[in-house]
Amino acid sequence: MTVMPQLGVGTFRLEGNTAIKSVLDALEIGFRHIDTAQAYNNEEQVGDAIKTSGLERESLFLTTKVWMENLGKDKFIPSVHESLAKLKTDYVDLLLIHWPSADENVRMEEYLQCLAQAKEEGLTRHIGVSNFTISQIEKAQAILGKDEILTNQIELHPFMQNRQVVKTCKERGIGITAYMPFAVGKVMDDDTLNEIAGRYNATPAQVVLAWMEVNDIQTIPSSTNKDHLQSNYNYGKVNLSADDLALIDNLDNGERIVNPDFAPDWD
């Protein structure tokens, strides 16, 4: 069974041929972890790219996420079947709840039982959550059982390190997957990250990815630029010192980028 690779490629906001090209470029470079979601409206394009690549399905780690309008018992499993049809595969490696149901419009017990059912039926190999707070993680783990939640996918970058959520998840044996790792490009303009990058003949993005790995946080940056994808893939050349890590840790200022009106009460 494939374990989720440290670095994946995200597909948020990628549509049509742009999504196909980005995923194909990533797979050609060597990425084997692809992240999509029902709400991205590009599962079909991701599936097309995987088919076109000719790679064995078993060599890939594929994630999708169930959108809020499909959390009810009547829609959940049918929506997963629809996702699999679009992705042209019999299963995903990881199925996530994209957002907790706003104001518990659907009870957590209901949609997490559906999530567990998807795993039991072989529609996914692993299950997890996204954008869950500490109290929601605690409740979810009580519902699903100790070793069921593979990861909590959350916004995390040098300027918003989400430390309490990370700490709680790790204490409970739950992984962390960071989305928006480059803070929509802000890391490229940061003086501290540029200074560190200069010492390693690297990019600020590579520095951030190296920092993520040291902290045992998986991540899924996206790019439509093949050179940037290649550069991200080569982040392993950066070996950060303890001083470097401390400098990056000090960049945390709680700057949250993703905060829709249906978001939970953040920690």
* Positive/negative CA dihedral, 136, 141, 147, 148: negative
The maximal CA–CA distance of the chain, rounded, in angstroms, is: 55
Does the active-site annotation cover 40?
yes
For residue 33, count CB atoms less than 10 angstroms from its CB and return exposed for 0-12, middle for 13-18, buried for 19 or more. Answer: buried
**Per-residue tokens: 15:** 């549509």
- How far apart are the two ends of the chain, measured CA to CA in Å? 34
User: Who contacts 99 (Cβ-Cβ below 8 Å, separation ≥6)?
Assistant: 68, 130, 131, 262, 263, 264
**Do the annotations mark residue 228 as ligand-binding?**
no
Is 218 strand, coil or helix?
A: strand
Please choose, from the candidates 110, 167, 169, the residue with its C-alpha nearest in 3D space to the C-alpha of residue 136. Answer: 169
Q: How many whole angstroms from its chain centre is CA 122?
A: 21
CA distance 165 to 90: 33
CB proximity list for 261: less than 8 A, separation 6 or greater: none
In the block, which residue shows the tokens 């950066």?
A: 238
Q: How far apart are CA 38 and CA 36, in angstroms?
A: 7
- Point out the catalytic residue in the list 40, 111, 179, 235: 40
Binding-site residues, in ranges, read 98
Binding-site residues for substrate, in ranges, read 98
Among all residues, which ones are annotated catalytic?
A: 40
